[in-house]
Structure 1
Amino acid sequence: MRNPFGTLCAALLLCACGTASLSAQEKQLNENKMMEEKLNLAQEWDKVFPQSDKVNHSKVVFHNRYGITLAADLYVPKNAEGKLAAIAVCGPFGAVKEQASGLYAQKLAERGFLTIAFDPSFTGESGGQPRYVASPDINTEDFCAAVDYLSTREDVDAGRIGILGICGWGGMALNAAGIDTRIKATVASTMYDMSRVTANGYFDAMDAGGRYELRQQLNAQRTEDYRNGTYALAGGVADTLPADAPQFVKDYHAYYKTPRGYHKRSLNSNGGWNKTSALSFLNMPILAYSDEIRSAVLVVHGEKAHSRYFSEDAFKKLKGSNKELLIVPGASHTDLYDNFEKIPFDKIESFYRTYLK
């Protein structure tokens, strides 16, 4: 005869174990929330592009594994159902989510993807001290942290997550794809390799002697910063340009310093990065293992862009039949920030639909 007392005890034990497990999960969620810094997020629509009536927008926060809380704009297609493919967007280097990355994120949400556009650590509405610091490691981690966040949302299919990096964050996106196997598809648009341009200068014009002089300048700046208790800024895009300024510098001015793209929190629109941020990029090149990326990659660049060589050289290193380079006829570097006639959204959507399935 079955022992009813034993059956009851077993049932109670199962209930207790289930309750303990649930409590542990709740405790972990609470601890995650406690890790996140309280950020002062703007509630008004303060983007440089108009709000779409095809998506729902809200602000979210998440943290990276260094404990820095990141701020993001979440874009969800209206009337979306079930678990969606998701894309995390960031860039350009020195921009904020209210500029080009938000435009990309909103447009891709209109096309059916759940997207976030986030501010990197130490910039925009995201946390981290001191302000306006860039780091090849931490900024790569920011993309991986975005994947952490998306992977744990109930409305996201964790097996269908992609990333998209613009300008300097195009290089960070490729770097993240090299380490994070959860990323199934990566788009690098109008890409810069920030470690290469910092160490070698534009068009690889800087030699070892030039790098040594730069190290001397930056380390002298470290001493001054420590003595002053503040971090000097490198300066964003200049308010006025000489007539003989290179065309790409004029293009940056036309975006960051005019109503087209100016934003009060954008480093490029204002005081720029902390000067000594360049030190880590001099010494720690990204893309060292990009040839080992197995997931899909689409590299997009403008035919007329001064920075085109970054994408072409990065693409040469990639391996596999799921890698593609698209050169947009007639496009400059900044055309791929916000020019709907040049940004190949049809191709980008098709790429994600192929590999996020």
Structure 2
Amino acid sequence: MEKISFKNKNGANIMMSAVIRFPPEFTGNKQYPAIAVTHPGGGVKEQTAGLYAERLAEQGFITIAADASYQGESAGEPRQLENPYIRVEDISAVIDYLTTLSYVDRERIGAMGICAGGGYTASAAVGDRRIKALATVSMANFGALLRHGWEGTGSPEQVLAMLEFGSQARTDDANGEETAVFPIVPVRKEDASHEDLAQAWEYYRTPRCQKDTAPGYGAARSLTQLAVWDALSMVDLFLTQPLLIIAGRKAGSKWMSDQLYERAASKNKIYHVVEAASHMSLYDIPQYVEEALSKLVPFFKANL
């Protein structure tokens, strides 16, 4: 394992912070398949993305988990920007970096993401053909989530208020006011409107996996992009790579994984449902992570 930094080549002149992991008995004289692992909204590389990256590296892959631009230990202002277009470009920036490494086989680069990171990964794979196989765990389409709610039953009418809030935040930023924020993770357990969010509070706000670099909120100006963005745009046309989707049966968010499976153009797509798992339990609860890995490892070995 090595902590690294590299310049994002997508034009923002941002240094990204990442952790790269190597297979057992790694030697720089060989080439290996590589997997870029993308963290959830509000997360950082040391949490669930780092866990999956570590376990996949143990199985023979080069893996890299990076903090998103403007988040974690990566550079960029304003802090905690959660612009979906930048998040998608960050994945391609990580792949840019992987292609510079002599021990990475450029023809065997895959990507996976957890929660919103899964949605961003699916979107990245639509345009970036260097991604040869992709997987999602507890996938969330951040835009659809804001428009329809966690369980997909809400009305998009609420989005107008979000857009007004985000637009005002941009005006305030431009005029030197304090950057407004919105919660990605409940601040208090009692703020959670359903069980998945209560588990998110526990994961991000308690010693279970709390990190100082993951404050659990986003810059409010992000809402002007997030609320009108769709992770599934053009997946029916261009998401043709091998695809593995993993979701918990008890996850309120499962409908977003359902939609990805239904709409993706891939002729080689697999949907594995973990019967007893919720959305958050796939982040770090050992038996559910093990079940996910039992599908991820053979999938990437077969397709990279």
TM-score w.r.t. the length of structure 1 is 0.79
What RMSD, in angstroms, separates the aligned Cα atoms of the two structures? 1.8
1:353 aligns with 2:301: yes
- SS of the residue corresponding to residue 161 of structure 1 reads strand
Aligned to 1:312: 258
Which is bigger in relative contact order (C-alpha 8 A, separation at least 6)? 2
Is the contact between residue 233 and residue 274 of structure 1 (CA under 8 Å) also seen in structure 2? Answer: yes
Aligned to 1:187: 135
- From the superposition, tell whether residues 78 and 237 of structure 1 become closer, same or farther in structure 2 (CA, over 3 Å): same
- From the superposition, tell whether residues 74 and 133 of structure 1 become closer, same or farther in structure 2 (CA, over 3 Å): same
Is the contact between residue 34 and residue 109 of structure 2 (CA under 8 Å) also seen in structure 1? Answer: yes
Aligned to 2:69: 121
- SS of the residue corresponding to residue 87 of structure 1 reads strand
Length, aligned pairs only: 298
Aligned to 1:76: 22
1:279 aligns with 2:228: no
Of 23, 41, 45, the residue aligned with 1:93 is 41
Q: Which amino acid aligns with 1:284?
A: W
Aligned to 2:55: 107
Is the contact between residue 16 and residue 68 of structure 2 (CA under 8 Å) also seen in structure 1? Answer: yes
Aligned to 1:38: none
Question: 2-side partners of 1:239 and 1:214: how far apart?
Answer: 19
Of 57, 60, 70, the residue aligned with 2:2 is 57
1:281 Cα deviation from its structure 2 partner: 1.7
Q: Which amino acid aligns with 2:278?
A: S
Aligned to 1:168: 116
1:228 Cα deviation from its structure 2 partner: 4.3
Aligned to 1:237: 185
1:239 Cα deviation from its structure 2 partner: 4.2
- Bigger CA radius of gyration: 1
Question: 2-side partners of 1:59 and 1:278: how far apart?
Answer: 30
1:80 Cα deviation from its structure 2 partner: 1.6
- From the superposition, tell whether residues 203 and 334 of structure 1 become closer, same or farther in structure 2 (CA, over 3 Å): closer
Question: 1-side partners of 2:269 and 2:152: how far apart?
Answer: 25
TM-score w.r.t. the length of structure 2 is 0.92
Aligned to 1:27: none
Is the contact between residue 199 and residue 281 of structure 1 (CA under 8 Å) also seen in structure 2? Answer: no
- SS of the residue corresponding to residue 273 of structure 1 reads strand
1:202 aligns with 2:147: no
Unaligned ranges ≥5, structure 1: 1-55
Unaligned ranges ≥5, structure 2: none
Of 257, 264, 289, the residue aligned with 2:205 is 257
1:333 aligns with 2:270: no
Is the contact between residue 19 and residue 64 of structure 2 (CA under 8 Å) also seen in structure 1? Answer: yes
- From the superposition, tell whether residues 353 and 226 of structure 1 become closer, same or farther in structure 2 (CA, over 3 Å): same
- SS of the residue corresponding to residue 240 of structure 2 reads coil
- From the superposition, tell whether residues 228 and 248 of structure 1 become closer, same or farther in structure 2 (CA, over 3 Å): same
- SS of the residue corresponding to residue 22 of structure 2 reads strand
1:299 aligns with 2:299: no
1:132 Cα deviation from its structure 2 partner: 0.8
Question: 1-side partners of 2:17 and 2:54: how far apart?
Answer: 16
Aligned to 1:51: none
Question: 2-side partners of 1:157 and 1:243: how far apart?
Answer: 46
Is the contact between residue 140 and residue 173 of structure 1 (CA under 8 Å) also seen in structure 2? Answer: yes
